[in-house]
Structure 1
Amino acid sequence: MKSWFRGAGFLAGTAFVLGMASAAHAADAKRGQFGKLDDGTMIETVTLTNDHGMSVTTMTLGASVQTLSVPDRDGKSDDIVLGYDSPAEYLADPQYFGATVGRFANRIDKGRFTLDGKQYQLEINDGPNTLHGGSQGFDKRVWTIDSVKSGPTASVTYRYKSVDGEGGYPGTLNVTATYSLGEDNALHISYRATTNAPTIVNISNHSYWNLGGATANTGSMDDLLTINASAFTPVSDTLIPTGEVRPVDGTPFDFRTPTRIGDRVRDGSSEQIRYGHGIDHNFVIDGEAGTMRRMARVEDPDSGRVLEIWGDGPALQFYSGNFLDGTMLGKGKHIYREGDALVFEPQLYPDAPNHPNFPSARLDPGDTYSNDIIFKFSTADE
């Protein structure tokens, strides 16, 4: 199997290409609270702010992004991530708003995989498949705050221990999620994991972005999207990769130049679009996995906000919010509907354990899983 993991020393050779803040400025980290679960567990928050109008609040529930505010072209800041007003709503909803998803992000066919000759059966929670680690994946767990730092770069590190057998996965996994913010208006996310037995790992962030605002009355279908991918992985009618890696040429999945999203997700002539009710597909990012590179860029013409997605993984799952069905009351009792927001998940390929031709999701004792992601914000006139 192909593998892009480099062992415990991998991070040393992976420098972020987007510079962190200089010592002339100070970013701030402040602890707070979001409320309690029914059992009395307090959900803690950490808010990171900089001197350029950007702030992000993360929380211990799911090591999630709860709010992220950034200025538009006129300098007006809005929260641009979908979410809820209480912890209970996050627990009740399967949409994974802002969450860290794992132990295996994305889908596994029929919840089965084989490792060292032994077959494992995971919980089925998405049609016939397992999605994002099952109904009690990392997004539904309460993480602990490991460290909080202010300074030129503000950061918070969350920690979670996934015990052997949790969700059906082998091995005890120790996981950290670090969120960092400097003066470059870029949110850096670093995922790390180690195991005491062979297992599979694929961790990513599942924030829903509406660059017009989380409670805006306009969706994201007019946004202009570029994805630096020359190929994608087609899926079956249950959204499991067939194993093929197909060129994007001549398909609705060709986003190599800026393209209005709504023009592609409504293309019913494509069987792949019909399967996903829009786009919910894995894009094979150009360039070498293990190197930080720009994966995608999305621009909202109305607000002028621009989001760039950077990562060092091999692929990017792009989901166009197809299953937001109008039944969810989000922040401020705003109804979330199809196409209101976009999800970009830098990660491994879906169902990787069942496709030997895909980059491997295997993690062994002594190695360190890593996934580094950057969400960088600017405006179109910059």
Structure 2
Amino acid sequence: MKILQKKFGEVNGHPVTSTTLINDQGMEVASIDYGCIITKVIVPDKNGQKENVVLGFESIDEYMKHSPYFGAVVGRFAGRIKGGSFELDGQSYQLEKNNMGNHLHGGLKGFDKVIWNSQVITGENETSIIYTYLSRDGEEGYPGNLEVNVKYTLSNTNEFSIFYEAVSDKKTLVNVTNHSYFNLSGNLKRDILDHQLTLKSESFLELDEELIPTGEILSVKGTPFDFRESRNIKDGSESGHVQKILTGKGYDHPFLLADNHNQEIVLKDSESGRVLTIETDQPGVVLYTGTQLSSDFKIRGVKSRKYLGLCLETQGLPDSIHHPHFPSSILDKNEVFRSTTKYIFSVIT
């Protein structure tokens, strides 16, 4: 196991450091302390060719100018909150409105746009970097001083795990996720429409025209949202389902997971042979197929475009504070929020 560190750039005069975790199989995970952004994940294909399978940039300036949350930890609240407002114990809170009058992914300066402290830990069979950040009371409108730890761990068995931990001195909302865009073709050789996805999910959330949950939980049966058996991502882009039209002929929907820590999310690319299995303790996953990716910038020499990557954001449900029948994302004073998501990379021949 190895760890490599180097300067990645500067933000307002503050140095940004890149840390690369490398296991004995040659798998690499690189991240920076700006936004805890995962910049690269290098894994082999069925022929042993090692390539990058996430979207990311080579410079901090590109992240600040163009990034739609590539690889970042988003919070305090991942997803949208309608109107950017909520109540806790009779107290009203107004958050920053950064998405059509709503609050998205923590606001104007969420976890993805701050510099985190970091510490590396080396071991014989795994190596880690721990990022820490104190989100002050009132930041982006949220109550409570929230201490957040994010731990990235790479094992010798090509398993990459993210451990989240947070505690607040006031009751608040917490819903964090990693916003990596995956493309298993390697080095963005193809888009993700021919990737196959399996989801252990029997239901998904209906969205309104602002992509906020209506509160209705819909069955996947008989719809292009049914991934209980493996199906191509392109099924969504080619579907006339009304929910697909809302999201730009693709997916941007929360699914409720029917199982946890049991191969509940599996993404495959048959041509490269790469397989990504995701296991989590979170109640849902947002499948986003990059339908809003703009084409006015390049990603390591490849022009950005729709369907170039997809996100599998393990998290609580968006706008849950306004829907009591959704799993709660309320964190009580001094309660410890903990969550784990594991990404397991393998190949099929």
TM-score bracket, normalised by the shorter chain, equals over 0.9
Residue number in structure 2 paired with 1:242: 214
1:94: Cα distance to partner? Answer: 4.8
Residue-by-residue CA offset, 1:319-342 (whole Å, 9 max, x unaligned): 0111112112222x3211100111
| 1:35 counterpart = 2:9 | yes
Letter of the 1:141 counterpart: V
Cα deviation 1:170-224 (Å, max 9, x = unaligned): 00100011000111111100011000000000010000001112332x1000011
**Corresponding position of 1:367:** 335
Once residues 106 and 248 of structure 1 are traced to their aligned partners in structure 2, the CA distance between those partners, rounded to angstroms, is: 21
Moved more, 74-83 or 116-125: 116-125
Deviations 1:239-266 (A, max 9, x none): 1101111110011100110101102222
SS at match of 1:326: coil
2:246 aligned with 1:272:
no
Instruction: For residues 123-169 of structure 1, give each alpha carbon's deviation from its aligned partner in whole angstroms, at most 9, with x where no partner exists.
Output: 11112211100121100010011343243111010000100000110
Deviations 1:320-367 (A, max 9, x none): 111112112222x32111001110011000101111111111111221
Identity rate, percent: 38
CA distance in 2, matches of 1:31, 1:102: 26
| SS of the residue 1:245 aligns to | strand
Partners in 2 of 1:220 and 1:243 — Cα distance?
29
Residue identity matched to 1:334: V
Q: Which residue of 1 aligns with 2:68?
A: 95
Equivalent of 1:324, from 267, 271, 293? Answer: 293
5 Å matches for 1:1-382? 27-37=1-11, 39-216=12-189, 218-267=190-239, 269-277=240-248, 278-287=250-259, 291-331=260-300, 333-381=301-349
Q: In structure 2, the residue corresponding to 1:231 is in which secondary structure? A: strand
Residue 295 of structure 1 contacts residue 316 of structure 1 at CA under 8 Å; is this kept in 2? no
TM-score, length of structure 2 as denominator length: 0.97
Specify the SS of the correspondent of 1:337. Answer: coil
Separation (CA, whole Å) in 1 of partners of 2:280 and 2:14: 34
Q: How many equivalent pairs are there?
A: 348
- Residues 191 and 307 in structure 2, CA contact (< 8 A), matched pair in contact too: yes
Of residues 124-133 and 187-196 in structure 1, the stretch that sits farther from structure 2 once superposed is 124-133
Q: CA RMSD in A?
A: 1.2
- Say whether the 8 Å CA contact 1:204–1:371 is kept in structure 2: no
- Whole-Å Cα distance in 2 between the matches of residues 137 and 373 of structure 1? 21
* Alignment match, 1:4: none
Task: State the AA in 2 paired with 1:272.
Answer: Q
The amino acid across from 2:212 in the alignment is I
Which runs of structure 1 show a deviation greater than 3 angstroms over 4 or more consecutive aligned residues?
A: none
Query: What SS is found at the alignment partner of 1:139?
Result: helix
Q: Which residues of structure 2 form unaligned runs of 5+?
A: none
TM-score of the superposition, structure 1-length normalised? 0.89
Distance change in 2, residues 1:44/1:148 (3 Å): farther
Is this contact kept in 1: 2:26–2:43, CA < 8 A? yes
Q: Which moved more, 1:222-231 or 1:292-301?
A: 292-301
Q: Is the 8 A contact 2:207 2:243 kept in 1?
A: yes
Q: What CA distance in whole angstroms lies between the structure 1 residues aligned with 2:262 and 2:74?
A: 22
CA distance in 1, matches of 2:276, 2:304: 21
CA contact (8 A) 2:170 2:334 kept: no
